[in-house]
Amino acid sequence: MPRTALVAGATGLVGSALLRRLLAHPSWGRVVSVGRRPSGQAGPGLLEVEVDFDDLESAELPVTAVDDAFCCLGTTRKKAGSLEAFERVDRHYVVAFGRLAKRFGALRLLVVSAMLADPESGNDYARVKGRMERDLEGLALPSLTVVRPSLLLGKRRESRPLEAASIAVARPLAGLFVGPLKRFRPVTAEAVAATMVRRALAAGEGVEVVESDDIRERESCRPE
């Protein structure tokens, strides 16, 4: 039977690439996208639900159950306006999505985190991401896959000057990241999306962490 997927963050860089892949993949017959606005995509199996992220875990969905849940929510501290607001999106909204997925019986939850995520980190970004991962583990879903990409490559809808500057520096130097430094190579959003799809199809029970150097770039240009 075709699976049902639940997606959050489908208007973002990774989320939009992921949604395209899920809609084109024969394993998923229905894809429920939750967000504040439409994704801008279309497909016979796509169901879009407008939600209040501050009450996300109580949202009602047009399905009775989901098989796989994919969370691509994320912002920046600058865009959010404060560390507290950033943590609300990148930690609390993500965990609320996990609770929503659990309420609808999701067997697998796959989430985009970040390289070096650590709940005890002195870096605000890494600490928030690490605490988000820890909170999701506490939900005790049957299967949790955490994907930790390095710097993301791709065309965003919104401007992120600092990220753009980092990409401009990192892209031509990517070939120099070898051996232990390989994990710091920038990766494309398409590759992250492809990895999430592949891992959803192969996921076993328990917690799996996919580090950036395990994201398979060679899959970035074709649907699964």
CATH of residue 54: 3.40.50.720
Does residue 224 sit within a domain?
no
Residue 90 belongs to a domain? yes
- For residue 74, being part of any structural domain is answered with yes
| Cβ contacts of 149 within 8 Å, gap of 6 or more | 14, 112, 114, 115, 187, 192, 212, 215
Q: Identify the DSSP state of 17.
A: H
Q: Which of 102, 129, 155, 182 is catalytic?
A: 129
Domain contains 124: yes
Residue 110 covered by a domain: yes
What is the domain count for the chain? 1
The residue with tokens 């691509």 is 72
Q: What is d(CA 6, CA 8) in angstroms, rounded to the nearest whole number?
A: 7
In tens digits, the chain (224 residues) has pLDDT values of 899 999 999 999 999 999 999 999 999 999 999 999 999 999 999 999 999 999 999 999 999 999 999 999 999 999 999 999 999 999 999 999 999 999 999 999 999 999 999 999 999 999 999 999 999 999 999 999 999 999 999 764 555 455 444 444 445 544 555 556 566 789 999 999 999 999 999 978 999 999 998 996 544 444 44
Q: Tell me, yes or no, if 125 is annotated catalytic.
A: yes
Is residue 159 included in any domain, yes or no? yes
Domain range holding 105? 3-219
Q: What dihedral angle (degrees, nearest 10) is formed by the CA atoms of 63, 64, 70, 72?
A: 60
Cα(3)–Cα(30) distance, integer angstroms: 7
Sign of CA dihedral 76, 156, 26, 48: positive
Q: Would residue 207 count as lying in a domain?
A: yes
Is 93 known to be catalytic? no
Q: What is the pLDDT of residue 189?
A: 95
- At 179, give phi and psi (nearest 5°): 60, -135
Active-site residue, selected from the candidate residues 78, 79, 125, 155: 125
Q: Is residue 96 part of a domain?
A: yes
Q: What is the pLDDT, as a whole number, of residue 82?
A: 97
